[in-house]
Amino acid sequence: MGKIKARLLIVDDDTDILLAAKMFLRQHIEIVHTEKTPQNIPDLLKNDNYDVILLDMNFSREATSGKEGFHWLNVILEHDPAATVIFITGYGDIELAVQGIKEGATNFILKPWDNKKLLATIEASLRVRESKVELESLRSTQKVLIADQNQSYSNMVGSSPAMKKVMTIALKVAKTDANVIILGENGTGKEVVARAIHRASPRHDNVFINVDLGAITESLFESELFGYKKGAFTDAKEDRAGRFEAANKGTIFLDEIGNLSQNLQSKLLSVLQSRKIVRLGSNKETPIDVRLICATNMPLYQMVSENKFRQDLLYRINTVEIALPPLRERLEDIEPLVELYLNVYCKKYKISKKRITAGTLKRLQKHDWPGNIRELQHAVERAVILSESNILQPTDFFMEETGDKKKDDFSPDNMNLEEVEKVLVRKVIDKHGGNISRAAKELGLTRASLYRRIEKHGI
């Protein structure tokens, strides 16, 4: 059996103990350092990392209080909070050693020690060290993931009166643990608002778990949200926590809650009332501490009147209600949103900075945006990728007209000259798929002249 791959430091003022410990331990552990003077500990920690540190409790002659050991324990833990320290102590100082464990030591050994017991204690402490390092790594990874998610879902954007109202309510409710329901059409940014609430809440350092209830089948609802025990069903090969457990101490966002069947609504209500979950295949109740935010694009109040959504569940989830306006009702916000997505996608695709003209902005503001912000986001992304110019023109945005706007009544009886020119220019550009050169040739114009007309009419 090879040596244990670990770095060990022994600090004791008794040279005989240092020599005996080193001679025995270096047969089993890869690197063993010894130090007689505790004042050298800070320098040792600056220059090296140790998996386990054996630390004497008393260094001064006839000292028995253990104060020196506690002092140097604090020094070590200040330098490395995950440090694994084993106190070396005499039989009469066991109570002090136990107190040392409460102060942050991992274990203690008695002098004189049995070599097998010493090695077993060090091996156990190494396992503790591995767990500490793994936990710290998980915490660091979680912080990075949270930061990345927050970067992906940037703060709410908008200066329109409607969005200012949304922001005010969101920031107020964020300071509490009140349940929130966010209502709005698809693509209006319900998840962005939910994440903004989480980010501004006391739970911001913990996880935000997003659950798309519309994508979870009825048969998988309980296992996905509440978890399961090994053997609960055919494919349950191991214990698994559900989304509610994963969100403990953080926020759980239940999107598309209006899609739940009556049966699943009852199960969800039971959990929200008790604040406890039971994994499939288990009878044990597990308390949960989560912030609940829900969202839907469905008319919940109408569904309640039609007995399609439980009224008691609606009361439970909508302590505070936030209604998100569609993009067509907040046209002032199109410009800052376009600027945001231009920055995002130019950076993502390593493309030089692009901007839009006043005519392009005017054209974007005339579109109905049935897909709301999500549609605008995709339109900007396509324009960034496909446009060869750093100045984006209306023709760089391929937007389908909706409603009556699809029916361009090209009857001169209904238009003045300006309107006729506008419709003609748009039709020819659409005919050539946005190719300005071909459209200009068909219209008998230069490219520059056509661009001036595009700007003029906001096409």
The domain that holds 186 is classified in CATH as: 3.40.50.300
Domain that includes residue 273, residue range: 166-325
**Same domain? 384 vs 413:** no
For residue 320, list its beta bridge partners. 180
Q: Is residue 16 part of a domain?
A: yes
| Dihedral over alpha carbons 96, 99, 101, 103 (to 10 degrees) | -120
User: Does residue 395 fall inside a structural domain?
Assistant: no
Give the model's confidence band at 252: pLDDT under 50 very low, under 70 low, under 90 confident, else very high: very high
What are the pLDDT digits (tens) for 176-186?
999 999 999 99
Domain boundary, last residue among 94, 117, 134: 134
Q: Taking residues 333-349, report their average pLDDT.
A: 94
- 210 and 87 fall within a common domain: no
Residue 61 has pLDDT above 70, yes or no: no
Rounded CA separation 251/208 (Å): 5
Instruction: Clarify whether residues 191 and 236 are in a common domain.
Output: yes
* Mean pLDDT across 298-315: 96
Helix (H) / strand (E) element for 183: namely: strand 180-183
pLDDT value for 175: 95
What pLDDT band is residue 139 in, cutting at 50, 70 and 90?
Answer: low
Q: 353 lies in a domain?
A: yes
147 located within any domain: no
Asked if residue 155 belongs to a domain, the reply is no
**Domain final position from 303, 325, 347:** 325
Domain boundary among 363, 390, 417: 390
Burial (CB < 10 A; 0-12, 13-18, 19+), residue 247, is buried
- pLDDT category at 92 given cuts 50, 70, 90 is low
Total number of domains in the chain: 4
User: Could you tell me if residue 259 is inside a domain?
Assistant: yes
Q: 55 has which bridge partners? A: 11, 87
Cα gap 140→148, rounded to integer Å: 12
Interval 415-435: pLDDT, tens: 566 777 788 888 888 777 778
Whole-structure pTM value: 0.60
Residues 80 and 40 in one domain: yes
